[in-house]
Amino acid sequence: MTDLYSYEEALRALLTVVPSPETEEVPLEECRGRVLAEDISADIPIPPFDRSAMDGYAVHSADCVNSPVRLEVIATVAAGIEQLPVVKRGQAAQIMTGAPVPTGCDAVQMVEKTIRVENAVEILESVKPGENLARMGSEVGQGDIVLRRGRTIGSAEIGVLAGFGRTRPSVFKLPTVSILSTGDEIVDINEKPAFGQIRNSNAWMLQSQCRALGLPSQILPMVPDDLARTREAVETGLESDVLIFTGGVSMGERDYVHQAVKESPLKTVFHKVAIRPGKPVLLAAGPQKLVFGLPGNPVSAFVTFELFVRPAVRKWSGFERPFLPRVKATLRNELRQKPGRLFFRPGHLTCKNERLEITGITTMGSADLVGFSSANALILMPADVDCLPAGSQVVVLLLERFFLDGEDHEVDTH
């Protein structure tokens, strides 16, 4: 199949071949970045008891209607107390934030509105029933669903899971990835390249991109430009769920990846997509397997991973929204191109005065990873446009660097 797919067509085709995720139970400390595969219900109500929201005195609100009023202090209640005192009319208990409200009391007066006088307390202002306390179950009722299947797990979700004693929640499995570089010229990164040789930088970069998605991955031994060796590599690589080739995927005489994939039981989904960089980009699928052939040029490999591998493996990992976030930003410099293909250009996005602005980065092209590496976003330049003027609104995909770098923020210390 040699059809030239549009970006949208390629994504649509890709999403239809991604296998459904399986589930597994995983220790809580490994759940970060995963997707819940079950609804989580509360095994206890929250708060688990009527809880004081203030340091102060637990009272009968009816005793304080005509304040100031003096009440006998019969106990002190701190968080973690086991035996609650019974507070009768005319009495109060000193109470700490987070402590259970004693039996009989229906309100807490904050310490600032009281005066302690030996074994008594002067309540200076009246309190309404329920004031300054959180009723048992007022936040979450026992049995309520607190997290739904499909929720991505961040730190807050870890806290919620921990709060309900869920030490091994069910999450979607992550596909395993093998990374395979091809090319007679490719040498190990520990070697000093001889004339005509290139270090295997892509494998390391792609593995890092897999790590950013939490995926277990391995780098397989490099494969020369040889059909038989490439065939073997497809077989070995498919011990993983996902196999990513880099290099050897174009239509050149010595590009054997597509040929080897065609001879395997896998079906080619697309081989050419009308984008820049990365026109040759291969996807093949089989039962519970995906094979990607990314271009060898480092910038193309990086970009096509983000555009195609990311949504596929994210969906396979259970993510409901598998794509890079897209925003609109104001372009700061004019960008030109020869029209023809949708161009994903490196850019540097800033958040000046809470407004998104983007500057296109000039690089020496798809091989120039050093020039590309400072990009924190990709600017979409439509295929039929030869110029995006400065000041225009452009669509931008956020890259990991945007979050790695963070923002400078002037802090007013006065």
List contacts with ligand AMP (CB under 6 A): 181, 183, 185-186, 198, 200-203, 246-250, 295-298
Write down the least CB distance from residue 254 to Mg ion, Å. Answer: 7
What would the two tokens of residue 125 be? 């202002």
* Binding at 52: pick from Mg ion, ligand AMP, none (beta carbon under 5-8 Å per type): none
Count of CB atoms within 10 A of residue 350's CB? 19
Place of tokens 């709060």: 163
Please, is 92 exposed, middle or buried when counting C-beta atoms within 10 Å of its C-beta (0-12, 13-18, 19+)? buried
Place of tokens 């870890």: 158
In terms of Cα–Cα distance, which of 249, 209, 215 is closest to 373? 209
* Binding at 278: pick from ligand AMP, Mg ion, none (beta carbon under 5-8 Å per type): none
Write down the least CB distance from residue 197 to ligand AMP, Å. Answer: 9
How far is Cα 179 from Cα 265, in angstroms, rounded to an integer?
20
Q: Is 247 in the site for Mg ion (CB under 5 A)?
A: yes
Element (H, E) at 179: strand 177-181
In terms of Cα–Cα distance, which of 30, 26, 10 is closest to 18? 10
**Residue 248 or 318: which CB sits closer to ligand AMP?**
248
Write down the least CB distance from residue 249 to ligand AMP, Å. Answer: 6
Write down the least CB distance from residue 386 to ligand AMP, Å. Answer: 27
Binding mask 295-314 toward Mg ion (x if CB under 5 A, else -) reads -x------------------
* Binding at 240: pick from Mg ion, ligand AMP, none (beta carbon under 5-8 Å per type): none
**Residue 18 or 282: which CB sits closer to ligand AMP?**
282
Using Cβ positions, the residue closest to ligand AMP within the complex turns out to be: 296
Write down the least CB distance from residue 186 to Mg ion, Å. Answer: 8
Binding mask 111-150 toward Mg ion (x if CB under 5 A, else -) reads ----------------------------------------
Q: Exposure pattern of 145-181 as b/e (b: 16+ CB <10 Å)?
A: ebbebebbbeeebbebbeebebeebbbbbbbebbbbb
Query: Applying CB under 5 A, which residues contact Mg ion?
Result: 183, 247-248, 296
